Chain A
Amino acid sequence: MKLSTNWLKEIAPGIKIDNKLIESLTSLGLEVSSVSKTKKDTIIDLDITPNRPDCLSVYGVARDLFSIYGKTIKLPKQKKIAIKKSQLPLAKINNIISPIYSCLTIENIDNKVKTPQYIKRRLNDYGIASNNIIVDVLNYVMIEIGQPMHAFDSDKVNGKLSVRFGKKNETFHALDGQKYLLNNNIPVVVDSNRVQAIAGVIGGEDSSVQINTKNIIIECAYFNPEFVRLASKKYRLQTDASYRFERGVDPLMHSFAITRVLSLLSEHTTLHKANYFQKENKLKINNKIKINIEQFEKILGQQIPKTKIIQILKRLNFHPAIFKNFITVIVPSYRFDIENEYDLIEELARVVGYDYFKPITLPATTSIDIGNNDFLEKYLSFFIVRGYHETVSFSFLPKNSQNSFMQSSNIITIKNPISEDKSELRTSLIHSLIKTYKYNFSRQIHDIKIFETGKIYTNHKSNPMNEVNTISGLISGKNYDSNLKVDTKNISFFDLKGDLSSIFPDLKFVPSSKIKTLNNSCQALIFQNKKYIGYCGEISNEVYRENSIKNNVYIFELFADDIVMKSSIIYKKISLFPRVKRDLTILVDDNIAGRDIIDIIERESFKYMINIKINDIFYNTKEFGEDIKSVSIEFCFQDANGTLTDNIVNKQMDLIFHHLAKCFKAKLRK
């Protein structure tokens, strides 16, 4: 809210416009976002939090400052007028929508008079354009004391006004030129023919006050915040009035507001008969709260002297009454935010100032560790050591971007997306990684290793709104920095596999062609202890094409919650006797996987064999024939209790070869 300091000084003459004022506003919780100077005024821009509608006026701010300054507040000039109770020129007022409703009727007013400069200037500084004197005065009083009001041209109103809920299919032409379709949740003001206003939000086009308007009805009401908010939300229509009504407007300001309007109008224009009506109050106000004085220290951690507490509560208009250790207060009608003891504690704390409270150490805890969030965190640094950059991307993807590999019923879409390119939740991190790849590639970075952690989201009948923690990565380009004395190669599947195998224990890669985003002939499902934990491979031709990618790109995706990291190790005694290495080169069918060869040997647990690995794969159609490959395997033997002799090792090698011959029809390569 833009606060004119000249205006503030009119109401609170005892307050100086200085740094102390700025500090006091901030320490009261009325945050100063900027201070600017105009020709004749200094304007303070306040960020008023939603709980403090009572400070959405010059008077309201002055009233809150009183709690610190204790300097008298002068109410602006009013014109006395007799109130006629319960004789409204109105038909029926719905008590739920408007428990208190007042109005002022004025006859034969001259609306052609120019609005005085100071009013125009203050409206302008606040951010409201000047219109005509009636509308300007209503806005002026709203800024001054916080009561929004609306004027109807009574010559355009048919019969009496009523307040009720809208009807289905009822329409309303508002003064913003828009047509609104109503329903039975929308509070409206109607005449005998049509809707004349959405209560507390906006008036109608027909009955709006124009320059030649002669007779008016000024509505001054309390509208139920909930319904005003509903209407304002539904039509995405926030007015200065609705902003205040939906937060809460002091229900006891009506006579003050109306007499103030009358005073200003009669000061600056001519008018004849004025009548003021008020409907009986049906709103429960002035709640009482009782608080044990010890509560203040218990919650705040530091004592505030009792006399100070009482002084502050008095200045805040809480009318404190003390009985033994208890204080009972009456909540002022404008403080909708005060409901319980905690609210009072905050009132005390903010007026004393948060600086009053000395920081102290938080005692050690007896709480138990229920953490569940940092399981994989420590392993991610291995990716860094292996040259990967971590990325963070949006969880949103463009509309229909996942249809080629995911059924649309399994994709979670945003009902109110910010834009079409952010309208689906990702079902895989691959898209994000490819986007990052392309972004960097177009900036001449071609050797790329990246990974990302984050959730993927899917919707299945058996598992609706499912979130899975995922780690995915992408590599492309050269496997090393091109450098002296190192031959760089293009990255291959095995660079990716090597990285994963070195970081996560016991991975098993099983040939696959199931993953649609991956190349059919270069992809693997990844298992750990027989559990499926993800996949990896080269991206599919379709992905290459769609993204116009020229270099080879390999990706992996792992479901983080399914990964098991070794948590304990039991030491095995190491042998002091020498190791013996042997090589075996066999010819087998090309479609026998290397892993199968290793598995079948490991499963037999040949004696003394402590290690086995495949060293080389070699093809030579002329020599071996079609679809036959040569596989070189390196074995390592060691005995825990003695030195192995050639004889013993040779015997084991024979057994191994015969086993391979039996299982795979392997032949010895000569």
Chain B
Amino acid sequence: MQKKYSLLISTLKDNLAECDSLNKLALIKSQYLGKQGKLTLEFGGIKDSKLSERKELGQVLNNIKIQINSLIDKKSESLANTNKKGQLNFFDVTLPGRNISSGSRHPISITINTITKILNNYGFTSVSGPEIEDEFYNFEALNIPASHPARDMHDTFYVTDNKLLRTHTSSVQIHTMLTNKPPLRIMTPGKVYRRDSDPTHSPMFHQIEGLCIDKDINFCQLKGLLINFIEQFFSKKMEIRFRPSYFPFTEPSAEIDIKFNNKWLEVLGCGIVHPNVLKNVKINHKQYTGFAFGLGIERLAMLKYGITDLRIFYDNDISFLSQFSVLK
């Protein structure tokens, strides 16, 4: 009995092998499974067989039916996917997806976000302040009196006789320290303005400052934090140099250089908060010490992305901007 059916299957296989279209396949299917189909007739024969064999026969025929269906389905699938020459149909997955135009964050924002994310892990939170400032917040409270030569480092835009566009985000430190009690850990990203315009200076650029005020803050901690910060920002070990510099609002002051292509490049200024600054904001400088650091966003972005022309940041050429679409 089994033999009879295996013959049925092998004839089917032969038929299928010769079949080259879905129409012909439909015909084959009806020859086997249709109302007058070969297998259908076999099922019809069950009622003529012995009572004891009926159950077994039913099971066998059901298995055969499953086998036939599966063979025909497979053939049908292969016919659908092949062309007349028997080759696989070509489905072009390389065509573009629909509505793929994706925007981008500006590299300045990406850089600010990268920096704030790192510093946030050290407990620094982001604070903002006004861009139009008094001399007090921008200079005097930061230990830069009117007659001080350090004001030459800041060529300032004025909007009235005593209102100016902030020349650094350090002014936010003053606002924050006057309204909050230590311990403090803040960072202040934002726009700053200097009356300067050439290929390496822009009248507007971005800075971020960090300020940490607490008991027992010292220079070694400042070094530790900033070395970690720089290496996390560039995601690699860096050759880093601290050297003495001068900012009226920190003492000792340091400038940090990193080695890029065998050249030392200045990336960051920092120092221990000058006691005069703490006095100006009525924080007891015997009880609290602190450090502050500031860096130029554009400069770090240029180093990180290999940008050589500062002005490209403000042209907003979409061909430039869209290069940053993968970063958030």
Residues of A bordering B, CB below 8 Å: 26-29, 31, 49-52, 225-226, 229-230, 246-247, 298-302, 340, 342-343, 345-346, 349-350, 354-355, 357-367, 369-374, 377, 380-381, 383-396, 412-419, 422, 425, 436, 439-440, 443, 445, 447-450, 454-455, 457, 465, 467, 480-481, 483-486
Is B76 engaged at the interface, CB distance under 8 Å to the other chain?
no
Whole-angstrom distance between the Cβ of A620 and the nearest chain B Cβ = 33
Pick the contact of A387: B98, B101, B130, B274 (CB < 8 A). Answer: B101
Chain B residue contacts of A395, Cβ below 8 A: 131, 165, 191, 193, 204
Chain B residue contacts of A371, Cβ below 8 A: 125-127, 186
Pick the contact of B328: A230, A370, A381 (CB < 8 A). Answer: A381
Chain B residue contacts of A354, Cβ below 8 A: 223, 242-244, 254
Are B317 and A439 within 8 A (Cβ)? yes
Is B16 engaged at the interface, CB distance under 8 Å to the other chain?
no
Chain A minimum-CB-distance residue to B252:
A346
Ordered by A's residue number, 28 sampled pairs between the chains whose C-beta atoms are within 8 Å are A27-B244, A230-B147, A300-B218, A300-B220, A342-B272, A346-B253, A354-B244, A357-B219, A357-B223, A358-B223, A359-B223, A359-B227, A362-B122, A363-B221, A366-B183, A372-B128, A373-B128, A380-B105, A389-B322, A390-B321, A391-B321, A392-B106, A394-B314, A415-B160, A436-B316, A445-B319, A449-B103, A484-B95
- Extra A-B contacts (16), CB below 8 Å, given A355-B241, A365-B122, A389-B103: A26-B243, A31-B255, A49-B245, A50-B149, A230-B147, A299-B218, A302-B220, A345-B251, A390-B104, A390-B105, A392-B316, A394-B314, A439-B315, A443-B317, A457-B131, A486-B99
Is B224 engaged at the interface, CB distance under 8 Å to the other chain?
yes
Chain B residue contacts of A300, Cβ below 8 A: 218-220, 252
Chain A residue contacts of B318, Cβ below 8 A: 389, 440, 445, 448, 450
Given A367-B184, A422-B203, A412 contacting B159 (CB threshold 8 A): yes
Are A390 and B159 within 8 A (Cβ)? no
Residues of B bordering A, CB below 8 Å: 95-96, 98-106, 108-109, 113, 116, 122-123, 125-128, 130-132, 147-150, 152-153, 157-161, 163, 165, 176, 180, 182-186, 188-189, 191, 193, 195-197, 203-204, 212, 214, 216, 218-221, 223-225, 227, 241-246, 248, 251-255, 272, 274-275, 289, 313-319, 321-322, 325, 328
Whole-angstrom distance between the Cβ of A304 and the nearest chain B Cβ = 12
Pick the contact of A247: B149, B188, B289 (CB < 8 A). Answer: B149
Are B203 and A418 within 8 A (Cβ)? yes
Are A389 and B244 within 8 A (Cβ)? no
Whole-angstrom distance between the Cβ of B220 and the nearest chain A Cβ = 3
A359 vs B228: C-alpha distance in the bound complex, in angstroms?
9
Are B243 and A359 within 8 A (Cβ)? no
Chain A residue contacts of B157, Cβ below 8 A: 414-418
Given A370-B180, A436-B316, A299 contacting B221 (CB threshold 8 A): no
Pick the contact of A416: B158, B274, B322 (CB < 8 A). Answer: B158
Chain B minimum-CB-distance residue to A455:
B131
Find the residue from A345, A365, A367, A414 having the highest chain B CB count within 10 A: A367
Pick the contact of A418: B109, B197, B313 (CB < 8 A). Answer: B197
Chain B residue contacts of A29, Cβ below 8 A: 243-246
Are A365 and B220 within 8 A (Cβ)? no
Chain A residue contacts of B218, Cβ below 8 A: 298-301
Whole-angstrom distance between the Cβ of B45 and the nearest chain A Cβ = 48
Chain A residue contacts of B251, Cβ below 8 A: 342-343, 345-346
Are B103 and A384 within 8 A (Cβ)? yes
Are A390 and B244 within 8 A (Cβ)? no
Chain A minimum-CB-distance residue to B157:
A414
Are A365 and B183 within 8 A (Cβ)? yes
Chain A residue contacts of B223, Cβ below 8 A: 354, 357-360
Chain A minimum-CB-distance residue to B106:
A390
Are B244 and A346 within 8 A (Cβ)? yes
Pick the contact of A361: B125, B212, B224 (CB < 8 A). Answer: B224
Are A392 and B108 within 8 A (Cβ)? yes
Whole-angstrom distance between the Cβ of B227 and the nearest chain A Cβ = 5
Ordered nearest first, which 4 A-B pairs have the shortest CB separation?
A301-B220, A29-B244, A371-B125, A301-B218
Are B314 and A365 within 8 A (Cβ)? no
Chain A residue contacts of B221, Cβ below 8 A: 301, 360-363
Given A50-B150, A392-B108, A454-B191, A373 contacting B214 (CB threshold 8 A): no
Are A355 and B242 within 8 A (Cβ)? yes
Given A354-B254, A390-B106, A52 contacting B126 (CB threshold 8 A): no
Whole-angstrom distance between the Cβ of B185 and the nearest chain A Cβ = 5
A597 vs B175: C-alpha distance in the bound complex, in angstroms?
49
Are B219 and A349 within 8 A (Cβ)? yes
Are A357 and B244 within 8 A (Cβ)? no
Whole-angstrom distance between the Cβ of A502 and the nearest chain B Cβ = 14
Chain B minimum-CB-distance residue to A341:
B275
A148 vs B242: C-alpha distance in the bound complex, in angstroms?
33
Are A393 and B316 within 8 A (Cβ)? yes
Chain A minimum-CB-distance residue to B182:
A367
Are A483 and B96 within 8 A (Cβ)? yes
Pick the contact of B195: A384, A391, A418, A485 (CB < 8 A). Answer: A418
A51 vs B143: C-alpha distance in the bound complex, in angstroms?
13
Chain B minimum-CB-distance residue to A484:
B95
A52 vs B248: C-alpha distance in the bound complex, in angstroms?
12
Chain A residue contacts of B241, Cβ below 8 A: 355
Pick the contact of A350: B101, B161, B252 (CB < 8 A). Answer: B252
Chain A residue contacts of B195, Cβ below 8 A: 416, 418
A388 vs B322: C-alpha distance in the bound complex, in angstroms?
10
Chain A residue contacts of B96, Cβ below 8 A: 481, 483-484
Chain A residue contacts of B214, Cβ below 8 A: 365, 367
Are A383 and B99 within 8 A (Cβ)? no
Are A367 and B127 within 8 A (Cβ)? no
Chain A residue contacts of B321, Cβ below 8 A: 389-391
A102 vs B272: C-alpha distance in the bound complex, in angstroms?
40
Are A342 and B127 within 8 A (Cβ)? no
Chain B minimum-CB-distance residue to A466:
B132
Are B186 and A370 within 8 A (Cβ)? yes
Given A362-B122, A370-B186, A486-B98, A415 contacting B130 (CB threshold 8 A): no
A483 vs B98: C-alpha distance in the bound complex, in angstroms?
7
Are A50 and B252 within 8 A (Cβ)? no
Chain A minimum-CB-distance residue to B149:
A50
Chain B residue contacts of A486, Cβ below 8 A: 98-99
Chain A minimum-CB-distance residue to B321:
A389
Chain A residue contacts of B203, Cβ below 8 A: 394, 396, 418, 422
Whole-angstrom distance between the Cβ of A299 and the nearest chain B Cβ = 6
Pick the contact of B103: A374, A385, A422 (CB < 8 A). Answer: A385
Find the residue from A391, A395, A455 having the highest chain B CB count within 10 A: A391
Pick the contact of B212: A340, A362, A425, A436 (CB < 8 A). Answer: A362
Chain B residue contacts of A362, Cβ below 8 A: 122, 212, 221, 224-225
Are B191 and A342 within 8 A (Cβ)? no
Chain B minimum-CB-distance residue to A345:
B252
